[in-house]
Chains A and B, each alone.
Chain A
Amino acid sequence: MGEVILTMKDIDKSFPGVHALDHVSFEVCKGEVHALMGENGAGKSTLMKVLTGIYTKDSGTIIYEGKEVTFHNTREAQDAGVVIVHQELNMIGDLTVAQNIFIGREFMKGFRIDDKKMIAESRKLFDELHIDIDPQAKMNDLTVGKQQMCEIAKAISHQAKVIIFDEPSAALTEKEIEDLFAIIRDLRERQLGIVYISHRMDEIKVITDRVTVMRDGTYVGTLITKECTKEDIINMMVGRVIYEEPKTKSLVPPDAPVVLKVEHLNAGRMVQDVSFELHRGEILGFSGLMGAGRTETARALFGADPKQSGDIYVNGKKIEINSPEDAVKAGIGYLSEDRKRYGIVVQKSITQNSTLACLDRYVNGPFLNKKAEREITQKYIDELSTKTPGPDQLVVNLSGGNQQKVVIAKWLIQNCDILIFDEPTRGIDVGAKNEIYKLMARLAAEGKSIIMISSEMTEILRMSDRILVMCEGRKTGEIPIEEATQELIMDKATRNIQ
């Protein structure tokens, strides 16, 4: 670990209504991998966006290579050698790999872009990193993992001195993560400063030298990775010890009837021959790495995406599901991982969102029965203890946890017996998380059947009665909760990966 290359001091940033960064400090040294950790919304990404000029800081100083700097846009930051590898991929799908890597700084021959040189340079870059990608391939035709590699290659090609990885492993397979780590170690050797943002504790232990933890927009502390334990880091992240007892025994009675049976479901590359059963009152956990095809399975089952083949039985009766409309009629409800895009209509009121799935029941002749709508909404606001001034409040003004409750209310009002929760606690703070867990347990006890897709191991082990593991579009395991361990699930989740 060399001298300090970058220091951020007392960085402050507010958005309307949110104090996103409250006097945060952070530093990176040459030849160091410095982890930046914190829960969702802790301010990690905001801090990095302030650094690279996407956001303007309200106050504070950034010292880079001994000089105070302010980058006004990513371009300036790049030119100075501070490069970010984004969480959302930043690729232009219709251009080729080489064109993407050199976008904005193409080699020119007079008026003409020198594509040949760009291809040759890309090839050199990939060789250096031991990556096997054709520079002339269209970006759209690559897998997510390969696209990520291109992003990294692009970052390195900027003669970067500081590289920020914003959750780089989220979309990668185990093998690809290995490759990524090899690259990162190589970069560390070359005395680059590396910021590594991730949620995955195991990775942090393996790859980083120091860990800085943030919470709710504030700086909590910095630890030397070798000298601390996972628990130390978690405690700093959440501010208190959460000790989650995994479920030890299935709560489903052995004679509980099968309410949903899926046989040989196929939908593209991500869903291949998936079969399973769901019992009454059961919480079936869907575990697997990112990109294992869990969400795709749920969407195909729900009719949100077209499927190629597969039979679906609800309460023993075979049903055709070709659209969400069919699924909802059959009593299935789906709570998406991306609430803002797929779950709620943010600019409308809680009432309008709550009755969206079953408006048929709230009509008086041709007109809507708004009074009845409001009453039922109020009833579920009370029941789920949603925090809101009233049913007319716009959903956009609610917190993540309360928005999730509105979506739950929607499906409960529709009387769905089968609920698919896709990452039910993503983007929700710890307190609200517990509430959602309790609610799910209560619903299961009341006889609802739940499929819970989750990437959090603790969540899976705490909630599920049975665990189904997927990998690369296939079901690779089904584990009763009594036998489930993290190691076993991980083993199945990486089964196809050599």
Chain B
Amino acid sequence: MKQNPIIKKLGLNRIILTGVLILMYVLFTAAIPNFSSMARIRSIMNYVYFLGFLSLGVTFVIATGGIDFSIGPVMFCCALVAGYCLNSYGVPMPLALLISILVGGLFGTFNGYLVSHWSVPPFIVSMASMNIAKGIGNIFTRSQTVSWPLSTDANGWFRNLIVYKGFPVGLFIFGVVAIICGMILYNTKAGRYILCLGSNREAVRLSGVNTKKYEMLAYVICGVLVGIAAIFFVGAYTTVQPGYGDQYNNEAIAGCVMGGTSMVGGLASIGGTVIGVFIISLLQSGILAFGMAKDVQLITTGIIVIIAVYADVMARRRKN
């Protein structure tokens, strides 16, 4: 059986996903009046940005065969801590953005260290981190909501990172970061080791590779991307409330697994993750546009993750 070389190059999975994405968009446009309005597209994009960085981040972790479902609350923690520094301590904006990334990176390091050096099961680390992130967010802000500056405010220029005079800078940044992630994963030593150790950790370790270091690195990369996601989240939604963020875990994991990254590790697709993120964002936006509440979003993502992971389980079983 010979495969069409173009299909092989692009990956059947990704072609189907793109088809699904387009079909969904067409259906939503047909079913919902004004779905293709500029405002609606902007709202979808806002979702894509922060979810995209989360999904890219968690792709690295899942590639090692691990999981991180503390990313949503950690993203909130980053936004809260950095925002609070900005508003209450008068930290300059560039530093605040850096703090956000730093907090994310620290959480990634913490998670990665426990998983790689202590072999604490990733789901336990995630549970613990999730609580710690919420706790820190609460304590730091004294349980108050934090609002980031509006575009008209003095420090509002950071919003240009998302849209500058109608030009979607955010999309551009997201694209560049996705390409960098792809480069890291497929074209660097670190990426090669991350993928290989996700597939067979012992074999990689016995080849003289410091697997702990590279496994930890995957979590650190994830943390940094979560810190970036926080910036785009506040850029779009301005206010952050302590104690929340759980729902984005599932959405990020959904985007990633749907894109063809295998839950057992060793197989990851950055391109697939990007398309997956678009699908999830479109869906969430569509659900709201249909006049349904947030609860439906939670339920649908839950079901999507189950289906996507089950498909992965079945695909592996067929291979063996």
Binding site for B on A (CB under 8 A): 302, 304, 323-325, 327-329, 334, 336, 341-348, 352, 356-357, 359-360, 363, 366-368, 370, 410, 414
Contacts and interface: CB of A to CB of B under 8 A. Distances in A.
- Sort A-B residue pairs by CB-CB distance and give the 3 closest, nearest first: A328-B208, A357-B207, A356-B207
Contact of A347 (B188, B205, B267): B267
B40 interface: no
A165 to B, nearest CB: 28
Contacts of B208: 324-325, 327-329, 357, 414
Interface in B170-229: 183, 187-189, 192-193, 195-196, 199-200, 202-210
B187 A368 contact: yes
B210 A323 contact: yes
B266 interface: yes
B188 A345 contact: no
Contacts of A346: 199-200
Given A325-B209, A336-B206, A356-B204, A345 B187 contact: no
Given A324-B209, A360-B189, 14 more contacts: A324-B207, A328-B208, A343-B203, A344-B203, A346-B199, A347-B200, A347-B267, A348-B199, A352-B192, A352-B196, A357-B207, A366-B188, A367-B183, A368-B192
A304 B192 contact: no
Most buried by B among A323, A363, A370: A323
Given A347-B266, A356-B209, A357-B208, A341 B203 contact: yes
Contact of A302 (B189, B203, B206): B206
B189 A368 contact: yes
> Most chain-B CB neighbours within 10 Å: which of A304, A325, A336, A357?
A325
Nearest to A368: B187
Nearest to B202: A342
Contact of B200 (A328, A344, A360): A344
A325 B207 CA distance: 7
B267 A342 contact: no
B200 A359 contact: no
A363 B189 contact: yes
A341 B196 contact: no
B189 A359 contact: yes
Contact of A342 (B188, B195, B203): B203
Contacts of A363: 188-189
Nearest to A302: B206
A190 to B, nearest CB: 41
Contacts of B188: 363, 366-368
Contacts of B192: 352, 359, 368
Contacts of B209: 324-325, 356-357
Contacts of B266: 345, 347-348
A352 B267 CA distance: 14
Nearest to A330: B208
B199 A347 contact: yes
A275 B206 CA distance: 23
Nearest to B196: A345
22 contacts: A304-B205, A324-B206, A327-B208, A329-B208, A334-B206, A342-B202, A342-B206, A343-B206, A345-B203, A347-B200, A347-B267, A348-B199, A348-B266, A352-B192, A356-B196, A357-B209, A363-B189, A366-B188, A368-B187, A368-B189, A368-B192, A370-B187
